[in-house]
Structure 1
Amino acid sequence: MAYERQKDIFVYLLNSDIGLSGNELAKKFNVSSRTIRSDIKFLNELTKEYGVSICSSKQGGYFIPEEQKDIGILVVKKIFIKEENLNRVPNTPSERFAFIIFKLSFSKDYISMEELADMLYVSKTTIYLDVKEIISFLDYFSDLRLEISPIKGLKLEGDERSKRLLISNVLKNEKINDNLMLSRSFYYVFGDKNLNLDEEILFLYETIINVLNEYGYILTDSNISLLVKDILVSIKRIQMGFVIEEEVKEDLDLTIVEAFKKEIQNFFNISLNNKELEYFQQSFNAKRLLNVTSKNYVLKEEAEKIVYEFLKEVKAKFNIDFSDATNFKKNLILHINPMIERIKDNYFEDNPLKNQIKTNYSFAFEISTLMVAIIKKRLNVIISEGEVSYIALHVAVALNEVNDKTNIAIICGSGLGTAQLIRSKILSYYNRQVNIIGYFPIYKLENVLNGEYGEVDLIISTIPINTEKNVSAIQISPLINEDDLLKIRQYVDSPLITFKNHGIKEIEGDFFSRELFKYFDDEKDFFKAILELTEKLKGQGYIDDVETFYSSVLERENLYSTILENMIAIPHPMESMSETTVVAVGIFKNPIVHCGKRVKMILLFAVNIKEDKKMKVLYGMLQKIIESKVIVENMLQSKDFDEFMKSMKS
């Protein structure tokens, strides 16, 4: 922590009998000489009013004069023990970025780069680089521009509403452990004038939560916190004379904000007009909801149309019918509703778990990408990967509900009563997800395996059994317990069951072949490797045209990267282009880096969407691979096709 380092430098110099060079201090505190210079500058600014300064000379280095050391000890006790003045100074690049945005947004005049450098105790070059990043960030806000004058400095121009949205975006993107905390950058902008910010934010939180509870709205934790911060920022700006002048172009139901208007006005001693209330309401409308019990909540017609078109596309391209999934449709519309409001304000929800979702729910994520083209067509915006990953969670839940039921046969040697108990317990847990075809004694096992009682996906037995056929089996206790039910879960309503019921020979024959395997001995560009694998698909007659297939793969990669968290990439075209569903495999001798991510293996999917069962097996296989570190490690070390297939057997 920078505060600790600066304090330690000061104390170290107090206790030193000799001067210390910048290099010596840099080595001692494991930082650069430039950082030491910045820290010394900061310390001198902080201690000058006490008559203490860190001096320097070319020969002697940095030192505190002997006659000032007694005062210096008092300074340590008076200033550093309190810690607050230093602790709130933005230190990291992201904190400086936020601070400069806040400072420019709350300033009515120009601010020079020298002033910013002095405030943050960094060089002008550092500020210049920060400003470059801010200019790039402002591209997303068409109504804002940064005026840069060589003489006057910097000034943020634009309408009030856009400035508030800018601040909201910065607050939303900051990584803070406690959702209700404001960043140190925000505190530092206000200085000592607003030491009651914590009290104010807690008041707003309690007030808004009470109103939302009363009206039946439940927001996610992060979104309720962001709503509170949005309103606090607006209040601070109103107090400083910044008011919204732009008219809202839509009729808004202000019931929610009207409910807490009076309390806010009284607590902060401000007056809120309709334009301000409309801004508060729009901020609320853009937040993600967990649930709504209010009868007055209106689902937007646009959201319903988007979801309807999405379900239609899923049926056409993946042969999955969600038409009877009532809860899924309702929850998806509930998610799309505020997303439309966010799109209007030109910002999207990031999802910190998006990479895990892409990896663990790759099929659901792929289905969800259909939403991108639909929203682009209807709203002329390409939604972010974070937004797609939130949709993927809804899709993953829905897939569990619409997947074919798992057909279970119970083998029980303990009698009818035990068999009925097991059946009853399984149905009470998995109900619509399973179909119990019957319970049988051990001597009927062969008949069950031969399908004489119907298709069977899973055998649950109270005694050890060996099934040579490709049917999964698990052993449970005669008095079925919680652990047994959890064992069953991995086989129920999951593409894994389809995968487990395929033998390794079938997997090899269905998806992989020696002709579609490539080991890259030399370093290869990610896209060039995909092109070589595409040419293999064409050479084996699976696709008609290399260029068309490859271009579609690039289009999909440009939308969102298909690189997963474990150095595996699963590129594929936007459309179904293969005669049958197969996988071309490319393994690199050494990992390559693409888009900042390491890749060791490419699984190039060539899918025929008419083969929906094979697709289930394919994604079930991928899920099984990803769940096992051993399988992944073995696959990544494979140098030829035989080693690759052997790793699958593990």
Structure 2
Amino acid sequence: MNKLTLRENELLYLLLSQKEYQAAKFFSEQLSVSNKTIYSDLEQIQHYLVENELKIDRVPRKGLYLIGPPEAKERLKGVLQQETISVLEDEVYSPAYRQLIMISAILLDEKKVTYDEYAELFLVSKQSIKKDMDEVLGYLRTSGLKELTNRCLSPLEKETMIQKVYKKYLISYNKKYHSHAGNTQNNDLTFLNEIFNQKIIDQVNSFIEKTMIHTGKMLNDYFVYSLKLSLIIFLTRLKAGHHVEEQNEFVFKDLQKMQLYMVALSFSEEMNQELQCIFYKNDLQYLCSLLLAHGVVPGISDMHIDETIRKTTQTLMNEMTHLLDVKVDNDEQLYHALIAHIMPMIHRLKNDIYVRNPLKDNIKEQYTTMFMLTQFAATVFEKDYKLFLNEDEVSFLTIHFQIAFEKVQSTKHVLIVCGNGLATSELIYNRIKQNLPASVIVEIATERQLKENPIDDIDLIIAAIPLEIEDIPVLHVSALPTAAEVSMIATYLSNLSENEKTFTYSKEINAGSLNPFIQQELIFLNQHLERKDEVLHFLIEQYQALGLVNEFFEESMFQREVLGNTSLTSGVALPHAAPETIKETKLSFMTVQKPIMWGANQIQLIITLAIAEKDMGIAKDLVSILYDMIGSEESVRKIVQCKTSKELINCLERRGR
């Protein structure tokens, strides 16, 4: 098939796409030419129509319509899409094409080309080149980029902004010269090979096609087109050594995109092998954002799933439904997301392959109860596969369950913003946290984050600095909130979550409810122990002597410590074992004379969470109560100061009221 000019190609594609007669004016307006030019182009495309058993029917006062077998139309459409029409006569010599090459040199390649070199390349005068460059620089000045120096980007420019500006320009250009590019998923964007490496284009086309098959979700045509452009630009810049800056987003936003982390990680490994692209942490998180924004979901639809994995996944969901007292066991999207994560996770763990979750510490701090309950439920992998999940793997699973949980109930998001740094924000957080419904997620944010991120999903801002924000309520408090201010915040937070299912313990349950699980023989105050292993051996011996655990309890306790840090920054450690190793639920409390290192933290209070399988239904309540009591250094210090068992129990009861 001989080449058409770009305009003739577009006219033919428009004719093939119409479902009814259209006036010549319709086509002339679409292609920005005169009616006379349209009729001239129609003559030029006649031989294509004849070859494909098609002809143009012209009816006065109705217009033009392409008649012929539907299969012939579809066949010709396919031929047009496969044709490489990247640089045809009316495009290559246009000022727009010259300007595209110029802006690509500035934003994509960051290379400086002289006016003489451009003039020689395009066979035009330097005056024409200067006019083109002035238009390019004028566009860039209004695009939001920092001021260019000698047609070079500022070294302080954000990588995400560079990619955003270039993509916007490319979409505008394609709309004029390749208007059908975003209308079909089969368009492989080969017309971009004048600008981009063809291998990058091929890799991106292949990835998106495989991802849609793999996840079982087809993306709409424009999303496919947009994602292709984003990934091609991203990989081109990455291959040239340009990495994305830290996104500085709110954690609850990070949580949503991080469910796609494994998809991004797999893509990065493939691109490293095929294109020698090196991905940093920020690049992976940005890639997650791109995938989420374009509707990609985790899941597996094209692979055989082992029946044991199916049963283990469903058991995990059933256990979390039991622990949360919220139905997540029939969530189909959660099921597919978990399957997609668990299959490679089992392979990783069996082969000692370690994958770090960059949000692990944030998840442990801000979604503490969900993390702990997921850790309890994850013992199913010990039973079915003899595998112990480390904290990174637990935190990945936590992401999926938290997202599923938030679909069942409307979780509220609250920001604490101060002008004096994070220390002041943490002071406010510690003052209000005991009055915090667990359906309310609180995040400490900086002024910079507030300015740089959309806040549409924020329900309340607590601020110790003057803020004027429309449409979102702001509670202004002092850096050290008074009792009246704490009461005001508590009332507002209570109203936020009123009449909604809360992820916390029942109002009937208070610290007194811990009493059945506390006994004098498991309270050890002011102990002279200096190392973590000494403490663990001592506690294990006490539980064994009382007949509360089975022979696997010791191994499980130490295994938990190997898999991750069980201490909190407030100065408390929470060692625990798998529920099936515990015969009867009992908590132990120990204080030590001098702080000891426990993982990453200095601690003086050790609380053993020994919860039996039969009591997992109240695990959420116990964990919630304990975290309310020990969340701040001040709370822990009061418990550590207790001299007798009775004083400690009284202290716990006061903290729980």
Q: Please state which band the TM-score falls in when normalised by the shorter chain.
A: 0.3 to 0.5
Higher relative contact order (CA 8 A, sep 6+): 2
Structure 2 length-normalised TM:
0.40
Structure 1 length-normalised TM:
0.41
